[in-house]
Structures are given as structure tokens and as C-alpha cells.
Amino acid sequence: MLRSATRHQSVFFLILRRMRTPLILLVASMAISVLGLTLMPGVGEDGQPRRLGFFEAFYFVSYTATTIGFGEIPHAFSPQQRLWVIFTIYLSVVGWTYTLGSLIGLLSDRNLRQAIALERFARAVRHLHEPFYLVCGYGETGRLICRALDQMGRRAVVVEIDETRVAEIDLHAHRADIPAVAADAGRPEILQLAGLIHRDCAGVIALTNDDQTNLAIAIAARLLAPQIPALCRAERREVAANMASFGTRHIINPFERFGETLGLALRTPSAWMLLRWLTGFRYSRQTTGSTPPRGRWIVCGHGRFAAGLIDVMDDEALEITIIDPDPPDEIDHRWVVGDATGELALLRAGVREADGIIAGTNSDLDNLSIVVTARELNPALFVIVRQNRYANRDLFTVLNAEISVVPSEVIANECLSILATPLFLPFKRAVRAADEAWCALQLERLTRLMGEERPEIWGVKIVRDEAQALARWLDEGREVRVGELLRSPADRRTPLACAVLYLQRADGETLPMPADDTLLRRGDQLLLASAADCRQALELTLANDHTLTYLMTGEEISGGRLWRILAGKRKGLAAARS
Amino acid sequence: MNLEKVVFGFFIMLAATLNFGFFVGDIDDPAHHDVYELFAALVVSVIATLLKLGDRTQIGAVHLATSLVADLQLIAAAMVWGYASHVSAGGLDAEMTARIVSLSGGALFANVVSVVILISETILQRR
């Protein structure tokens, strides 16, 4: 850090060094002019010979060389002096022009401007005094993540290789300033300048389009800042395996992630519905039938996206037909060679008898066209469509496919849930492992409690900083059960539309969906889901002694210390009287 | 031999010698101290400073610092000279001369340090 910081501080010295020759020439020309002027014989006002002193000569040359030109001061010059002044003028004009030209050329130098921008960026990062995330890559995903981080009130620092995208950051209205630089995030010194080893760096998010760059970021993060969580996007399996081999904690492969999701939807539809509802899709009892059918599927396109899905469907023993213009040498599925956007290929693949279709090419227009054509041929199809560009979302909304997969959104959601609610990942794992009946029960219970809209997911740790009143209450040795806490502060008989999804004890014990009579302990971490307006109510209970006491005992306690003492006296008096 | 090094050493030495030349003599006798020599010392010192710009090494930094000190002292001396000969009622008297010469003495010390660094740098170099 020190070395690279000093290197970039020296941009100033770099300018000085490049200006060395022009400045020396300038000084020399001024010196010659001044010296010559003091040596030229002149005539004073009294007619006596009089030369100019250094003071007057320097004064004259200064205003002449800078083209101000006050005239012949202190008195009219002699012909010899005028001759020298002519020489001075041409000499100094050349000197100044050369100096200014060099300076302007230097300042418009592209390399220097980059060096200055980098230095300014590094200074902005050094002066951050709150936790921030280092986001590498400001594409669609990076944009979604920066916006979400900004809304969560967290700071971000962006490294992006494309200058126009860096310029876009200023155009997007963010609440907090986001320091950004156009540089290659794969270079460790850039990452260091961007705050990888800054004491407030809370995490590194590698989202560039290039897997190799993401790999380089993962390695740099692992070696330079092993304690910081690194979230890395990897679209190729070998890169993901490489990242995993040196302990990158979160590797996000959007295609594989969706493959897993599809597998879950086919195996345990309720678990899929539950997670889908918790991560932002409206749940509706009428559409509970809209899970992917176990039947005949047509897969259009054979890229990374489709390949992942085909593996999953093979595991579930579904019948698949693939439509793609260039099949590999070894074909292990029914294969229709052709363009899926055309009616002919779809018919040959048996679209009329199929139950579902996956439009998974890497062109959004092709995918849209496939879905529209296929639906005309068979309106009952279950449609899974891949949306490559977030910018096309309006078209896909109108299409209203059963499932649209947006890789950038998949990655962004995954990153945000890791960053904002770290417990969501183990909870997700627990749900994936659970059986259909349990998931269906929980889905039913939670949606009855909280309604069909997407609930808010948040986490809290029972410590003084986050849940002051509850932590104190537990410290005093009193018992609190989960069910007692989730009640309305206005009326303790009314339950809050709020549920504990996951509980992790300080000793590592974990409880998915803890029952109402579960005892809470100091240091527990809770993952909560709540309807829109209930989070505040619960936060009040956790932080406020009065509300907590009311919920636990049903008594309203008095406000300040004085009132408590008075209340105590009054109780004592009443007791004495009776 | 490297021309750049010759020029560099030349200007540092010249700055020191000119400065010394101006400094020697009775401290308060204007006749012993020529203003042209002061002018030359100042110009050469500024050029020596510019030559030292942009060196990132530790020794380069000390070089630059000593040169800046010498410049500062000489500019102060030149300003006192300007004040004495054009503004002050008494003109360039013994008192003013003593001031100018003592300021240039300070610059001389900085220049000597500069020369010492130059020599020690040369001795340290094994090539």
C-alpha cells in the first residue's frame, strides 16, 4: 500500500520533471535578458549616463515578457537599451510560449490524466471512514448491486475497465458518492488502491464479464485480504472449481444457480415456491399449479445456460428434445438441427405434444421469437425464458413467461442476500434439504400470516448493539420465547405478521423455522421475515425496554428513573394502607 | 561519462562557488560584494534546483531540499538588496550589506551541504 501510494503521490513530481527543460529555459532567458539590460548604457533625466539596476531591469523584463508592457520605465531608453529590449522580447516570447505549450500538452496527456484520476480515486478511497464494498465491474449486475447497496445505506467503490460505464455512475442518482475508476480490476495494485486492504473494506464483489479477471480478483482477495468475504461470478465450471480450490467463499455461477433452482422446482415444488416467494415473487394460491411439469420438454439453444438445465433434467429423467443449429459430435438426446425461431423446427421437435419449452439462446430477440411462435402452436406450454439483457425487461414483462431467468438479476440477488442477510444461505440450504410436506406446511403457514406480497427479509443478532432491550432482559436471567416476542406492541394479544425463519445459536447450533416455544439466548442470530409494516414494530420491541416489558408481562412501566421511583413509592404506600 | 551528470555536477558546483565568491570579504563593506555575483549565484542556484526536480530517490529529495533552502536565502538576499538600493533612505549602507551577506552565508551553507551530498553520492557509487 505504502509503495503504491507514494508512487501515485508523485504525479506532481512527474509533472515537475517533465517541465524541467522548459522551466530551465525560461529561467535562463529571463536571466540573460535582465543581465543584458543592466549592462546596456543609458541616459538619465539629467543627461548623465545611467544604467538600469537589477531591480528595475527585472521589473521591466517581467512585464515585457508576460506581454503586459507598461512602457519604458523609469525613463526613456537609450538606443543601446532599445536594441537589447528587442532581443529580450523575442527571446522571452519564445521562452514563455514553449513553457506554456509544454504545460498544456502535459496536462492533456492521456496517461497523465489517467494517473491523476487514479490518484484522486485512491485518495477518495483512503478517506472513506465507513464500511464499504469493493465492486469490480459495473455492468448490469454491478449497477443493480450498487443501487441496492446505496438504498441499504452502504457505501461502494467501483473498478470498471470501460470508461463510458464509469462516466455513467455519475449519471445514475446515488445517495452517497461512489468512488470509481476506469482500470483493470485484475491487477492487484489497482485492487489495493481501490481499498482491498483498507481497514473498512467489508467485502469484494467480482462481477466482470471476464471469468479470468474474476479469478484474478478472487486470488488477490484470498492472498491480500483473507479475512474479507469475496463474492465472485464464474460462468465456466473450471474457473469456479479453480476459485473453490483456494477457498473463495462465495462463487456465483448464474447458470448453475438456475439449474439448481429448476431441479428444486421439479423435486420439491413447495420448497421452490417458498424460496421464490421469499426472494421477491408474489405468491398466489391460484397459481400454485404453475410449477414446471414433469413431462416432455423442448430446449432451444445449447449454450452454458441450457447445458446446465439439461443436466438437471437428465437427473430428473425428463424427456428432452434439443433444437440447435450445430449439434456436438456425440449426441445423447433427441436433437433437431435447425433454427428454433422457425415454426418448422418447433413442429419437428414435437411442440404440440410438449409440456414445456426453454428458450435459452444468448439472443434476447431469438428467445422472444421462440416463445411467441411456440405459444401460437401450443398455448398450454410451460415457458422458461432466458433474458440476457436487463434493458429488455419491458418486452419480457409483456411476454409473461412462467419463469424468466435474468442472469444479472440472479447474481445480484444472490450477492445481496449474502451481504445483507448472511443467514439466508444456510436457511436456503435447509429448505432445499427439507421434504415436500414440511415445505408445503411452512409455505401455507407463512403466507397466511404475512399475506401474498413479498415479505421483508432481515437479520438481527441478540447483542446490546442491535437488540438492546432484549439483550439486557436476557442478561438479567429472564426467559424469552420466540412466540412471546412476535406480538404487536400496541396489543400483546395480537400476533405480528412476522416469523423467525432461521435461528443460529452462538455455539453453532441451527434451527430452521424454530417453534414458538423456543427459548432465545444471548448471541443468537435470527433471520426474520415480516410483512411490510411489521419490521418497525418488532425493532421497537427489541430495542425499547418499555415495549419489551409490556409484551412479556402485560404491565406498562413508567418512563424515566424518577417516575419509576415514584411508582415504586406509590405501590409501597398502597401496600401499607391496605 | 554521462553529459547529464556533468551538467548536473557543474551547476551544483557553480552555485556553490558563485555563492562563496559573493560571500567572502568584510561582511559590512559594499565594495567587497558585487551585486552581479549575487545575481549570477541566484540564477545558477534556481537552475540547479530545476535540474534536481523529479528525482524520486531519498538522496534526490535531500538534494532538492537543500537547493530550495539556498534559493530561498538568495531570493531573500536579493529582496533586501532591492529594498536597500531603491526604497531605503540610507541606500546600500553597511547595515544593509551585512544583512545581505549574512543571508547569502546561509545559502552558502546549504550549497556546501549540496556539494557534500554530491561528493558522497559519487563515492558511494561503485561503478
Contact at CB, B39 and A31, closer than 8 angstroms: yes
**A576: confidence class by pLDDT, cuts 50, 70, 90:** low
> Distance of CA A503 to CAs A260, A278, A443, A523, A552, Å?
24, 17, 18, 11, 20
User: Do the beta carbons of residue A178 and residue A156 sit within 8 Å?
Assistant: yes
Q: Which residues of A touch B43 (CB under 8 A)?
A: 27-28, 31
Q: Can you give the length of chain B in residues?
A: 127
Contact at CB, B39 and A53, closer than 8 angstroms: no
Mean per-residue pLDDT, A554-565: 68
pLDDT of residue A4: 46
3-state secondary structure A118-173: HHHHHHHHHCCCCCEEEEECCCHHHHHHHHHHHHCCCEEEEEECCHHHHHHHHHCC
Contact at CB, B56 and A10, closer than 8 angstroms: yes
Q: Which residues of A touch B86 (CB under 8 A)?
A: 53, 55-56
Share of chain A above pLDDT 70, in %: 93
User: Do the beta carbons of residue A98 and residue A29 sit within 8 Å?
Assistant: no
* Mean of per-residue pLDDT scores for chain A: 84
Does B61 touch chain A if contact means CB atoms closer than 8 Å? no
User: Do the beta carbons of residue A222 and residue A246 sit within 8 Å?
Assistant: yes
CA–CA dist B65, A24 (Å, integer): 18
pLDDT of residue B18: 95
Helix axes A436-450, A269-278, angle to 10 degrees: 30
CA–CA dist B22, B20 (Å, integer): 5
Q: Is A353 in a helix, a strand, or coil?
A: coil
Q: Is the pLDDT of residue A43 over 90?
A: no
CA–CA dist A235, A375 (Å, integer): 30
CA–CA dist A460, B79 (Å, integer): 70
On the question of a cis peptide bond just before residue A514, with omega within 30 degrees of 0, the verdict is: no
pLDDT of residue A551: 82
pLDDT of residue A2: 41
Chain B's closest residue to A14, CA to CA, is B54
Mean per-residue pLDDT, A146-174: 88
Q: Which of B47, B51, B54 is nearest residue A14 as measured by Cβ atoms?
A: B54
pLDDT of residue A448: 84
Mean per-residue pLDDT, A123-150: 90
User: Do the beta carbons of residue B70 and residue B111 sit within 8 Å?
Assistant: yes
Domains plus CATH for chain A?
2-107 (1.10.287), 130-252 (3.40.50.720), 255-406 (3.40.50.720), 455-578 (3.30.70.1450)
> What are the pLDDT digits (tens) for A290-318?
778 888 889 888 888 888 888 888 888 88
**A412: confidence class by pLDDT, cuts 50, 70, 90:** confident
Full-model pTM = 0.69
Residue of B46, B47, B50 to mutate, testing the A interface (most A Cβ within 10 Å of its Cβ): B50
pLDDT of residue B39: 94
> What are the pLDDT digits (tens) for B72-88?
999 999 999 999 988 88
Mean per-residue pLDDT, A415-426: 84
**A76: confidence class by pLDDT, cuts 50, 70, 90:** confident
> What are the pLDDT digits (tens) for A349-377?
888 888 889 988 888 899 999 999 998 88
DSSP A410-433: HHHHHHHHHHH-TTHHHHHHHHHH
Q: Which residues of B touch A14 (CB under 8 A)?
A: 54
Phi, psi of A337 (to 5 degrees): -85, 120
Q: Is the pLDDT of residue A3 over 50?
A: no
Alpha helices in A359-422 (DSSP H): 364-377, 393-399, 407-420
Among residues A129, A121, A188, A187, the alpha carbon closest in space to that of A157 is found at A121
Phi, psi of A513 (to 5 degrees): 45, 65
Mean per-residue pLDDT, A406-417: 84
Does A14 touch chain B if contact means CB atoms closer than 8 Å? yes
Helix or strand run (H / E) with residue A456: strand A456-461
Alpha helices in A451-560 (DSSP H): 468-475, 482-485, 534-543, 545-553
Among residues A161, A160, A163, A125, the alpha carbon closest in space to that of A146 is found at A160
pLDDT of residue B15: 94
**B40: confidence class by pLDDT, cuts 50, 70, 90:** very high
Bridge-based pairing state of the strands A132-136 and A201-206: parallel
Contact at CB, B50 and A23, closer than 8 angstroms: yes
Number of other residues whose CB lies within 10 A of the CB of residue A539? 17
Q: Is A209 in a helix, a strand, or coil?
A: coil
Chain B's closest residue to A26, CA to CA, is B47
Q: What share of chain B is helix, strand, coil (3-state, %, to 5)?
A: 80, 0, 20
Mean per-residue pLDDT, B47-75: 89
Does A94 touch chain B if contact means CB atoms closer than 8 Å? no
Show which of residues 17-36 on chain B sit within 8 Å of chain A, judged by CB atoms.
35-36
pLDDT of residue A1: 39
Q: Is the pLDDT of residue B58 over 50?
A: yes
> Of the given ranges (A225-234, B16-25, B76-85), which has the lowest mean pLDDT?
A225-234
Phi, psi of A447 (to 5 degrees): -75, -30
Among residues A136, A133, A142, the alpha carbon closest in space to that of A206 is found at A136
Mean per-residue pLDDT, A128-138: 91
Q: Is the pLDDT of residue A6 over 50?
A: no
> What are the pLDDT digits (tens) for B94-121?
999 999 999 999 999 999 999 999 998 8
CA–CA dist A61, A50 (Å, integer): 18
CA–CA dist A501, A484 (Å, integer): 16
Chain B's closest residue to A23, CA to CA, is B50
Chain B's closest residue to A15, CA to CA, is B54
Q: Distance, in angstroms, between B89 CA and closest chain A CA?
A: 16
pLDDT of residue A282: 61
Please report, as a single letter, which amino acid is at residue A69.
Answer: G
Does A11 touch chain B if contact means CB atoms closer than 8 Å? no
Does B51 touch chain A if contact means CB atoms closer than 8 Å? yes
> What are the pLDDT digits (tens) for A167-208?
888 888 888 889 999 989 889 989 998 998 888 998 899 999
**A159: confidence class by pLDDT, cuts 50, 70, 90:** very high
Q: Which residues of B touch A27 (CB under 8 A)?
A: 43, 46-47, 50
Mean per-residue pLDDT, A504-527: 87
**And the C-alpha cell for A453?**
406480497
Mean per-residue pLDDT, A16-29: 89
**Hey, where are the domains in chain B?**
3-124
Q: Predicted ipTM?
A: 0.86
The C-alpha cell 404453475 sits at: A290
Does A20 touch chain B if contact means CB atoms closer than 8 Å? yes
CA–CA dist B24, A545 (Å, integer): 85
Mean per-residue pLDDT, A104-117: 86
Mean per-residue pLDDT, A328-356: 84
Share of chain A above pLDDT 90, in %: 13
CB pairs under 8 A between A and B: 45
**And the C-alpha cell for B100?**
545581505
Contact at CB, A54 and B82, closer than 8 angstroms: yes
Q: Which residues of A touch B36 (CB under 8 A)?
A: 35, 38
Number of other residues whose CB lies within 10 A of the CB of residue A310? 21
Contact at CB, B54 and A54, closer than 8 angstroms: no
pLDDT of residue A283: 64
pLDDT of residue A5: 44
Q: Distance, in angstroms, between B113 CA and closest chain A CA?
A: 22
Please report, as a single letter, which amino acid is at residue A515.
Answer: A
> Distance of CA A131 to CAs A146, A154, A196, Å?
14, 7, 12
Mean per-residue pLDDT, A252-275: 85
Greatest mean pLDDT among A132-136, A332-336, A387-391, A408-412 lies in A132-136
Please report, as a single letter, which amino acid is at residue A279.
Answer: T
Bridge partners for A527 per DSSP: A459, A502
**B44: confidence class by pLDDT, cuts 50, 70, 90:** very high
**And the C-alpha cell for A552?**
412479556
